[in-house]
Every structure is written in C-alpha cells, then in structure tokens.
Structure 1
Amino acid sequence: MARTSAAKTALPAPARRALKTLGADVAVARKRRRIPQQLLADRMLVSRQTVQRLEAGDPTVSLGVLASAFFILGFTSRLEALLSPQSDAMGMSEELARLPKRIHTPVADDLDF
C-alpha cells in the first residue's frame, strides 16, 4: 500500500487553494503559448504526469519542477521576486516597530593617549 504524504493532508486550506490557483495559472500560461503538456514535460525533463500534477496544484510536486516551469514559460523574474524583502510589507512594519524611540550619542570612554 502506498504511503500518503503528510504534505497533502497537513497543508492548511488557504495554502491548498493557493497551490490550485498557481497550478491553474501555469496551465493557462502554457496554453496561451500553445505548448502541449508533453512538450513542456520534455523541456522540463519530467513526465507528462508530473506536469499534470503541477497544473492540478499537487503539493507534493517539487519546487524545482515549479521553478523549471517558470523558466520555460518566461516567469523566472516573478519567481525571484516572490518573497523579496522589498515586497514584504508585514516584515517592514515589524522592523519599523522595533526601531528605538530615542537615539543617544555614544559615550566616548576611550581617552587613553
């Protein structure tokens, strides 16, 4: 009997929906470029079933497979910018909240001639 991956069962519902949307978006991009699944699979060096799983939003598909699809479809820059620090509004607000309220001039103790 095949083992079921915990990635399929333990993934939160919003993350599952996001993967389904991402997979559907990959399928739309492929179709707009008029690339058959088999040709995309050949270019990615994976099986057609893997492309089908990617487009279905299967969470067990590797990040490398997704990155390969992004590269072939011309979306590498979007993958690079996915979690860039510049687009992390929550992280920036947390960082600003931790800044000190007052800044003091450092005391110069080093008067050793």
Structure 2
Amino acid sequence: MGSPKAKQALERLGNDIRAARLRRGVAVADLAVRAGTSPSSISRLEKGDSGVAIGTLAEVLVALGLIERLTDLVDVRKDDLGLALAGERGPRRGRTFAARLKSQKAKSSKGEGQQDIIDPDGAAF
C-alpha cells in the first residue's frame, strides 16, 4: 500500500514530529489535546501511518509551532521540473471574461444564431 519511497518519507516525517515533540517536553496525550485529536492518532502519525489525515498533521504542526513548514512543503517557486516545463511551453494567453462577453455580444448582434449570453452578474440565459 503505497510506494516504498512514500512509506520511507512518512516514517521520516513521523520520526521528526516525535523528535520535535520530545524536544519540547510535550507528552503524547498533551499534544493530542492541543491538536484536537486522540493520542492514538498522534502515535500513528509518529509511526508514519499513511492513514492519518492531513488535517491532523496540520493541527499537530500548529501545536508544535511548525505550521510554516507545511506551507513550504510544495513551494512552486522551487519546483525546478515544473518551471522548466512551463518555460518550454512559453507564455499562455487566456481570454478575459470581458473579452468573451464582448465577443458574444458581437455575435448575437450579427444574428449568428441564438447563443447564450453571459450576464456580468454570473447568470446565464
């Protein structure tokens, strides 16, 4: 269930959370109360159990004062592969809502059939 790499990463994460808890001198039961979860969930998290919810992980990190580490987990500014692939594709231009609305109004005024007109307030007719 899961790749060996994922299992290894979760075990390392669990060990790091345990180490952070112990350095702070916080018991499992106290951390569970602070995070709004059960002591068994804390133990499972520290063992690298993949069934622990990400919300539980976030609450534990808040309780330990490490929540900013979660937000840095997948920093797109440091995604070398993603940045390289985006650079190869070049810039992509999209049409704004105003441009689509203008285009639809122009088509409907020319009588090119009965197409839906988008209302600026979000309702379609």
Query: What's the TM-score once normalised by structure 1's chain length?
Result: 0.76
How far apart, in 2, do the equivalents of 1:27 and 1:17 lie?
Answer: 15
- Is 1:47 aligned to 2:38, yes or no? yes
Number of aligned residue pairs: 91
DSSP-derived class of the 2:26 partner: coil
Superposition map of 1:1-113 within 5 A: 9=1, 11-99=2-90
3-state SS of paired residue (1:59): coil
Bigger CA radius of gyration: 2
Are the aligned partners of 2:35 and 2:62 in contact in 1 as well (CA < 8 Å)? no
How much does 1:62 deviate?
A: 0.2
Deviation at residue 75 of structure 1 after TM alignment: 1.2
How high is the sequence identity, in percent, across the aligned residues? 35
C-alpha separation between the residues in 1 aligned to 2:73 and 2:26?
24
Q: After the TM superposition, which parts of structure 1 deviate over 2 Å for at least 4 consecutive aligned residues? A: none
Residue ranges of structure 1 left out of the alignment (5+ in a row): 1-8, 101-113
SS for the counterpart of 1:79 is helix
Mind listing any 5+ residue stretches in structure 2 that lack a counterpart? 92-125
AA of the residue aligned to 1:93: A
The Cα of 1:60 is off from its aligned counterpart by: 0.2
Higher relative contact order (CA 8 A, sep 6+): 1
Higher mean displacement: 21-30 or 84-93: 84-93
Distance 1:81 1:91 in 2: 16
SS of the aligned residue for 2:50 comes to coil
